[in-house]
Structure 1
Amino acid sequence: MNRKTLPLVYSLAIPIGVGALVAIALAPFGETPLEGVTLLVKGAFGSWRRVSETLVKTSPLLFTGLAVALAFRCGAFNIGAEGQFLV
C-alpha cells in the first residue's frame, strides 16, 4: 500500500472494527448493535436536558484536548494536561 491509500484503509477499517466490538459486547444481552447505538444516542441526546448534560460533561475534555493539540502544534510537549483537567 502506498501512503495515499493507507488513511483510506484506516478510515474504513476502524469503524468496522468498532462496530464488530459493539456487536460482540451486546450479543450476550440479546441486543442488536443498532438497538445499542439507538439507546446510546437517546441517552445522550434524547431531550434538551440530556443534551445540556452531555455538553456539560464533554466540555472539559474538549478543552483539555484543544490545549494539548495547541501545545503539540507549537512544538511543545505538554505533560500537565491530566492535572489541569482534574483541577
Structure 2
Amino acid sequence: MTEIAFFFERYEIGEEAFWKMCTDAILDYQQEVNLDQERCEAFDLFGEDINIEQMTKRRLFGDGQLYFARVENPLLTARRRVECEPIS
C-alpha cells in the first residue's frame, strides 16, 4: 500500500482519478472480450460494498486472526460517475 501511495503522490494522481482509471479498464475489458452479464455478475466487481482487511489490527493484536471492515465499494462510486459523464 505504501508503494501505491508514493506512486500517487509522485505522479499527482488523486484517489478519485485512480478508481476512474480502474473502472474504465474493467468496463473496456468486459466489452472487448464480450463478457456476458452472468459472468460479470459472478465476480461482482461493482457490488455495493466490499470487505477490506484491517491489517494494522492484526499486527497490533498479533493473534493471527483476520479482521475485516465493510466499506463502500470505490469501483461502484467511480462507475456511477463514469455513467453520468457526458459523451464526447
Shorter-chain TM-score above 0.5: no
Which structure has the highest helix share of the two? 1
Q: Report which of the two structures shows the higher radius of gyration computed on alpha carbons.
A: 1
Q: Comparing both chains, which one has the higher relative contact order based on Cα–Cα distances under 8 Å and sequence gaps of 6 or more? A: 2
